[in-house]
Chain A
């Protein structure tokens, strides 16, 4: 009769949508999901955005965000049905038996209160510890999680510590009441890759140490492979595959899981040419107005025609600033840029129409890169009109042709951006850039906001287009896997400096400089035990 710690049977979760001017309608978010979690085990929930993984995670606390309703099935926690629990029963469970770690710790901490008060609050409220005990426990946890000055760390306010530290503090907050189950909702997604590794290792050590069970929610298979005993793959609110971590990663049965696993492994063959570079940047420096420190210092890179330069770095590395300087949105303070043999003026406003046309840009967030009040036809057609003076039938034909090139049909021509999916939006942005017949396209994190399979499709499209049109790319990204998949040349940036630059085969081969070494090592690999290996070598 004894059930496991958490047992979810045939769970259905619904929400009510209120489309403007229409009758409200029910949407199913989670559809018949069942899972079990034993004491001290970690279950990874993995899936794309909209797969329902966070919703399932929160259902273990019988919590539904904004109008979400746990409408069917059973949720047993510690031998108690909690789906229909209300009031005191619910409160006695949240923050005591189950706790929660959110994706953005920066937003999840109350800005007006000291960390210690927030970390110990749940334990004290539920009578799981006296104030003094809870504080002692918190200091212990701070120490275990590798936080600086564990004795005094709790006296700080949330805005006084870094993002990675806050994420650790949130883990301490979740562990302080000594719960049976912790729900981790993408706890490392918002962090830089080198920070992520440390936080992930700290989380793993802390939950092993306390023997607490965890639901670990993420979209990154390589991350979950490091921490989970079992994995459930979700899509559109349904279970795709559920098994041990070992089985899911090494021998996935379902086609969708196989696709997810293989996405990570792609590598692209390096292209080389002897043609003069399409863009050459020499001794580039830049700083923001009123700041003395250089945001970019002494950058020298070149891009060959028909090839891709990947500019890789973490947040604050200056990689996006480099794009802004090249496009002329931010004035350089020293250096020069030669584009197709011509000197580029620093200010975009003074550039010739041809310079503007031949240098195009694609953005990370496709939804804000398109005017929501213009149709796809207008968006793609405007450069044709503007640069080539096309109109009428000729214009329409060319737009249709471009839609074909991005693998969308003619029927999209009258749609508005809001009617497109994320991947389709990014494709339209690509078509808009192509319409100008550019020689170089700057791609700023164009796949970062997309789900892995969709991102893969976009990368493939970009590669095909390069083959056909001989266009060059400057590809800005923080993701090493993307770099491997698309780059011919690589520039590694850190704190506004170029730390490593050269052909892909050279940059990604030893001997490494320290930063590149750390960067490459921090990228989770899709195999179990990888993290222990890396942390092991790092400890030496």
Chain B
């Protein structure tokens, strides 16, 4: 690894850390932008003066915002995410299990959708303008036109209720075998895969087409090489960076999709936890979950950029 690449990597990683820091400020500010009193908003109009005063005390509303932010950030850095307003439990503990569940769901969705999207994108490019391409693009256009929860209910209605192939509610427990667990979450995975797949495949197709239109692909074709070798030897090495980028960009749909899908299938993950507590106006929980979701997203993007730096021959072999 040369100095230039190292420098770019260090730059990119520090940018990611700086970004997370500023995002934590944004998320903190996001819960402070209300012109009036947060305590009032949380408890509603009918709150008694005593309960308001108690809540203000608990939220630390009597001290300036920046001090509250500093102590929140300090806590987060030491792994202390604070306590929930609604049930007084430690947020870190409540999140730990749920985070595992969410990662389990998201990871399986990613494992299935990424290779599938790349394969379908490749097929689309190979058969560009012919029926496989048109079919794929029509199906994916429909898929991105339907919100995640709609897709969930459509699947739930036909696959779970009408056909009875999979459970309509995704319950997990520790006694289940891996296969049982996968069966339990098969519908949420299917929904996530469909949503992510549609976006990812469309962008993979565009990225690949871009590479396939380069002059060096024509050069390779004019060498009389088989089309599969043209793609494998010449198109593929130049497509790694754009495809990784596409994959990571689409992880955003996964992050958002997970929230919705967990609610639909009553899956005990972070998304459901977040939505529940938004409705209950449990600000500390919302802040903690928001920060975690955003941080995961930023790390994924950072990872994509790192791969494209490493895949760039101009950077790996400078003049």
Contact = CB atoms under 8 A, between A and B. Distances in A.
Contacts of A159: 313-314, 317, 319
Contact of B226 (A91, A108, A112): A91
A95 B317 contact: no
A497 B50 CA distance: 82
A99 B220 CA distance: 11
Contact of B216 (A61, A99, A110, A125): A110
A65 B218 CA distance: 9
Nearest to B217: A110
A96 B225 CA distance: 10
Given A100-B219, A102-B215, A122-B225, 18 more contacts: A63-B221, A90-B224, A91-B224, A92-B224, A93-B224, A94-B221, A94-B223, A95-B224, A95-B225, A99-B223, A107-B215, A109-B216, A110-B238, A111-B238, A125-B224, A156-B317, A157-B314, A160-B318
B224 A94 contact: yes
A93 B222 CA distance: 9
Contacts of A102: 215, 218-219
Specify which of B215, B218, B222, B237 lies most central, judged by the most chain A CB atoms within 10 Å of its CB: B222
A48 interface: no
A113 B224 contact: no
* Among all A-B residue pairs, the 8 with the closest Cβ atoms: A95-B223, A94-B224, A95-B224, A107-B215, A112-B237, A122-B223, A91-B224, A110-B216
Contact of B237 (A93, A107, A113): A113
Contacts of A107: 214-216
Contact of A109 (B219, B225, B226, B229): B219
Specify which of B214, B218, B219 lies most central, judged by the most chain A CB atoms within 10 Å of its CB: B219
A112 B223 CA distance: 17
A298 interface: no
A108 B216 CA distance: 4
Interface in A24-74: 61, 63, 65
A126 interface: yes
Contacts of B233: 113
Contacts of B313: 111-112, 157, 159
A108 B234 CA distance: 11
Interface string B197-236: 0000000000000000011101111111110010001100
Contacts of A63: 221-222
A121 interface: yes
A476 B214 CA distance: 32
A104 B218 CA distance: 12
B238 A112 contact: yes
Interface string A73-103: 0000000000000000011111110011010
B234 A110 contact: yes
Contact of A61 (B214, B215, B220, B222): B222
A93 B224 CA distance: 7
Interface in B302-319: 313-314, 317-319
B244 to A, nearest CB: 14
A157 B317 CA distance: 7
Interface residues of B, number: 22
Interface of A: 61, 63, 65, 90-96, 99-100, 102, 104, 107-113, 121-122, 125-126, 156-157, 159-160
20 contacts: A61-B222, A65-B218, A90-B224, A91-B225, A93-B224, A94-B221, A94-B224, A95-B223, A102-B218, A107-B215, A108-B215, A108-B219, A110-B219, A110-B220, A110-B234, A113-B233, A121-B220, A156-B317, A160-B317, A160-B318
B218 A108 contact: yes
A104 B225 CA distance: 21
Nearest to B214: A107
Contacts of B229: 125
Nearest to A113: B237
Interface in B225-261: 225-226, 229, 233-234, 237-238
A289 B275 CA distance: 51
Contacts of B226: 91
B133 to A, nearest CB: 16
B237 to A, nearest CB: 4
A111 B223 contact: no
A41 to B, nearest CB: 22
Contacts of A99: 222-223
Contacts of A122: 223-225
Nearest to B234: A110
Contacts of B221: 63, 94
Contacts of A100: 219, 222
A126 B237 CA distance: 22
A393 to B, nearest CB: 50
A225 B50 CA distance: 99
B267 to A, nearest CB: 42
Nearest to A160: B319
A109 B215 CA distance: 8
Interface in B162-211: none
Contact of B223 (A121, A156, A160): A121
A104 B223 contact: no
Contacts of A156: 317
Contacts of B219: 100, 102, 108-110
Specify which of B216, B237, B238, B318 lies most central, judged by the most chain A CB atoms within 10 Å of its CB: B216
Nearest to A123: B223
Nearest to B314: A159
B224 A96 contact: yes
Specify which of A108, A110, A125 lies most central, judged by the most chain B CB atoms within 10 Å of its CB: A110
Nearest to A112: B237
B238 A125 contact: no
A111 B222 contact: no
A122 B222 CA distance: 9
Contacts of B222: 61, 63, 94-95, 99-100
A157 B237 CA distance: 14
Contacts of A65: 218
A121 B220 CA distance: 9
Contacts of B220: 110, 121
A156 B313 CA distance: 11
A126 B224 contact: yes
A45 B188 CA distance: 63
Interface string B276-314: 000000000000000000000000000000000000011
Contacts of B237: 110, 112-113
Nearest to B215: A107
B157 to A, nearest CB: 42
B215 A125 contact: no
